[in-house]
């Protein structure tokens, strides 16, 4: 649930805004960073057996993105973050929703 909530928050925060608007709004960026961190932390806490049963989900990428934001906060590339929001989040949202429906 935490993962889905974090994804949905990011998508709501970025709905109908441009990359330039994203860059100019620090609060939005900070909120997005936090939710990506929550997403990665939740992925890291998934049982290994569950991760192995769902190899189509890019668990390691979620965790490494979280780690990059936490430990490399001074080197965040917002072009990469924006690309994740635009291309990865919609697919990931569907994957997580499908998992939720199984349980």
**Both tokens of residue 64?**
């490494």
Range of the domain at 81: 2-102
Distance CA 14, CA 8 (A): 10
> The pTM is what?
0.91
List Cβ neighbours of 23 (8 Å cut-off, separation of 6 or more). 29, 78
Look up tokens 């057996």; give the residue: 49
Q: What is the pLDDT of residues 11-70, one digit of tens each?
A: 999 999 999 999 999 999 999 999 999 999 999 999 999 999 999 999 999 999 999 999
* Tens digit of each residue's pLDDT (9 = 90 or more) over 47-63: 999 999 999 999 999 99
How many folded domains does the chain comprise? 1
Position with higher pLDDT, 58 vs 103: 58
**pLDDT recorded at residue 75:** 86
């Amino acid at each position: 649930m935490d993962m889905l909530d974090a994804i949905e928050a990011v998508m709501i925060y970025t709905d109908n805004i441009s990359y330039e608007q994203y860059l100019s709004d620090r609060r939005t960026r900070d909120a997005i960073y936090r939710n990506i961190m929550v997403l990665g932390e939740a992925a890291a806490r998934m049982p290994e057996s569950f991760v192995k049963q769902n190899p189509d989900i890019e668990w390691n990428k979620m965790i490494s993105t979280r780690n990059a934001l936490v430990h490399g906060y001074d080197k965040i590339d917002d072009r990469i973050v924006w690309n994740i929001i635009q291309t990865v989040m919609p697919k990931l949202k569907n994957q997580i929703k499908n998992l939720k429906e199984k349980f």
